[in-house]
Structure 1
Amino acid sequence: MPTTVRPEAPASTFRWPVRVYYEDTDAGGIVYYANFLRFFERCRTEWLRALGLGQRELAADRGLQFVVAQLSVDYLRPARLDDLLAIDARVAELARTYLVFEQRALRGDELLAQATVKVACVDTRRNAPARLPADLVSRLQPTAAA
């Protein structure tokens, strides 16, 4: 699978390609709305992995996990079976205990869906908010400012 899909994303944006499979579609043959949330989640997860911070390791080694605290999605156009989508993520806000991502789903240069996702860092041992790991903040800081 290619690592980029046109149009090119700015340097401050992480892009992950997603192919639409039959399992992603509803009875009408279009992507079921909730599957866009899966696509957005995969993009954020792969970005962390690309930064060297796998979610399994964060949970096992540091007792941290990320949970969606707030979500807003605008569905603009349908995606269909076999479409190759580009899923983008950009850090819009970097706070002490949470991140806000702006995300987009594109087919070529056509915007299909866009979301704002607030992701909180949680200490799994205390089930309470936790400070974002310093190494994650340092890796994301340049992208948040762009």
Structure 2
Amino acid sequence: MSVEPLFSWPTRIYWEDTDAGGVVYHARYVAFMERARTEWMRSLGYGQERMRAEHGMVFAVRSMQMDFIRPARLDDTLQVSARLVQLKKASMVFDQQILRDGELLLSAQVRIAALDAASFRPRGMDEAVLAVLQPHLHPESEH
């Protein structure tokens, strides 16, 4: 089975996403990227509740580097992409982009840590989860 290494999730900009200047407030981009990663995991059969209930695990952002290139505005339709570029036992790294009509607005790299759902301490992912994620690792990853 051929696996597409890029996942894209659409989002629209509403009043609640904008600041007094009429552009998307910078922190909203973080939420858009989280939704794309969450929906990617859900598309693989691992929604947040399943991860917590069946595997006793949650994911948390460990670090994030973002490059704001152009602003998004009210009523824009955006594509938020997520590409898995590194996979380790207890963490993964995504390259993410936000585009409007093919124009790059933001690029980011996000490191996600696997945590125990009860203690919120770092832990390794179950082999079953790693086996589902591994085929989606971008083949040209050098991280």
Q: TM-score when scaled to structure 1?
A: 0.89
Q: CA deviation at 1:132?
A: 1.6
Q: Does 1:130 align with 2:112?
A: no
CA distance in 2, matches of 1:126, 1:21: 36
Task: Provide the C-alpha distance between the structure 1 equivalents of 2:45 and 2:128, rounded to a whole number of angstroms.
Answer: 10
1:26 alignment partner in structure 2: 19
* Equivalent position of 2:135 in the other structure: 142
Cα distance, 1:61 vs structure 2: 2.6
- Per-residue CA deviation, residues 49-95 of structure 1 (Å, 9 max, x unaligned), is 10010101211232210011111110000000111100000011001
Q: 2:90 is matched with which residue: 91, 97, 101? A: 97
- Aligned mates of 1:133, 1:48 — CA distance in 2: 15
User: SS of the residue aligned with 2:29?
Assistant: helix
Give the Cα separation in 2 of the matches to 1:47 and 1:53. 9
The Cα shift of 1:110 comes to 0.5
**Coordinate RMSD, CA, aligned:** 1.4
* Of 37, 43, 46, the match for 2:36: 43
**Structure 1 residue 143, shift from structure 2 partner:** 2.1
Counting aligned pairs with the same residue, the percent is 43
Structure 2 unaligned regions, length at least 5: none
Q: Runs of 4+ in structure 1 displaced over 6 angstroms?
A: none
Distance 1:25 1:130 in 2: 37
Kindly indicate whether the alpha-carbon contact (under 8 Å) linking 2:83 and 2:138 is maintained by their aligned counterparts in 1: no
The match for 1:76 is 69
Deviates more, 1:51-60 or 1:132-141: 132-141
Listed as ranges, the gaps of 5+ residues in structure 1 are 1-9
